[in-house]
A and B are shown apart, each in its own frame.
Chain A
């Protein structure tokens, strides 16, 4: 006769973690090292990995101790989520792949499963229930980790894009007193201020009386971008520089009129060529054929 042990207390992951913490940590670390597709050796040192693993276990223990521990709402605002986000952000910055970051979290599943099976023994009903809960919990942890990772990545990309934007807006001294400023890339609000300041400083440094602002390379012209342009033009005027905006495509022209964007009394030209001719006119020079 098989004995059906009657459990006196409800089994929870939290209990298991609390009572077998050291073992779980060690076995998890082993598992991480032996999981294929998970090779963190070049990007994170042993100490950091150990501390991340310990942190997760530490934060997981209290929030997986209560009855409904796989309750997603409870999970959202917990310390565990905060810890996962931090770890994930760290991985993103270290350029550890998103898959590996999530694999790290998922690898805990098998480890805990084994301990769970041990604790449940022959009680299959409870074991099935707990396995379900465990799955849900770990899956949710994985999702949180992935989400945090992508958010960090987006921030990093935005920062890099800003750098690229700065590098790709060189001011070209077209002629004595004429400056050509090609605007390239998406002029997002974050960088717009810096771009405008850079343009004005260039105008001041080169003592240019005419600045040709070429927007051929700006894919999106909306009200925000137009406002940046208007600001730049107004400031340039006070510096003593006339601004000619060139590179407005037929599409952009349509958008601007539809959005009711009025650049005011700003000189605009469809092509750079026309803009350059206009610029020369303004400084009192003319291009003549010999």
Chain B
């Protein structure tokens, strides 16, 4: 399953669908990074609104993707985490570290804009 990554100006938007296989998750990571490079995007919004379950593997993929994108010079914002998912990650000891998180897509785009403009 290929995850569509949309280009909006100098930013990218990737919405992760529910129930991704591990393979798809890794593809998503690779695709995102390639597109960041190709479009010279200033930032990426990763939207996880659809995710009802985020286990340690998925958490790792998300965290790594964000950190890798930053290495490529792009800002990253995460939006739409489910409250239940948030608690579960904290209880498991797998909180996302170093990734700016916001509640929804609108806030995500705004926050990303701010981060990009700051640079």
A residues with a Cβ closer than 8 A to B are: 196-197, 200-201, 203-204, 207-209, 231, 234-241
Interface flag for B87 (CB, 8 Å): yes
Q: Shortest CB–CB separation between residue B48 and chain A, in angstroms? A: 10
Interface SS of B by simple majority: mixed
* Residues of the A chain whose Cβ atoms lie less than 8 Å from the Cβ of B90: 231, 234-235, 238
A118 CA / B95 CA spacing, docked (Å): 76
Interface flag for B29 (CB, 8 Å): no
Looking across the interface, which residue of chain B has its beta carbon closest to that of A236?
B86
Could you jot down 18 A-B contacts, CB within 8 Å?
A200-B86, A204-B103, A209-B102, A209-B107, A234-B90, A235-B86, A235-B95, A236-B86, A238-B86, A238-B90, A238-B95, A239-B83, A239-B86, A239-B103, A240-B79, A240-B101, A240-B103, A240-B107
A231 and B87 within 8 A (CB) = yes
Interface flag for B3 (CB, 8 Å): no
A208 CA / B103 CA spacing, docked (Å): 8
- Select the residue from A196, A209, A234 with max chain B CB neighbours within 10 A: A234
For this complex, into which size category does the number of interface residues on chain B fall? 10 to 19
Identify 6 new A-B residue pairs, CB closer than 8 A, beyond the known A204-B82, A240-B81. A201-B83, A231-B87, A236-B86, A238-B86, A238-B95, A240-B103
Top 10 A-B residue pairs of the complex, sorted by shortest distance between their CB atoms: A240-B102, A200-B83, A235-B86, A240-B103, A238-B86, A240-B101, A235-B90, A204-B83, A234-B90, A201-B83
A207 and B84 within 8 A (CB) = no
A239 CA / B101 CA spacing, docked (Å): 6
Number of residue pairs A-B, CB distance < 8 angstroms:
54
A234 CA / B86 CA spacing, docked (Å): 8
* Residues of the A chain whose Cβ atoms lie less than 8 Å from the Cβ of B103: 203-204, 207-209, 239-241
Looking across the interface, which residue of chain B has its beta carbon closest to that of A231?
B90
A208 CA / B107 CA spacing, docked (Å): 11
A234 and B95 within 8 A (CB) = yes
Looking across the interface, which residue of chain B has its beta carbon closest to that of A203?
B83
B101 and A238 within 8 A (CB) = yes
Interface string of B94-114 (1 = CB under 8 A from A): 011000011110010000000
Q: Shortest CB–CB separation between residue B104 and chain A, in angstroms? A: 6
Q: Shortest CB–CB separation between residue A70 and chain B, in angstroms? A: 51
A208 CA / B104 CA spacing, docked (Å): 10
* Residues of the B chain whose Cβ atoms lie less than 8 Å from the Cβ of A234: 90, 95
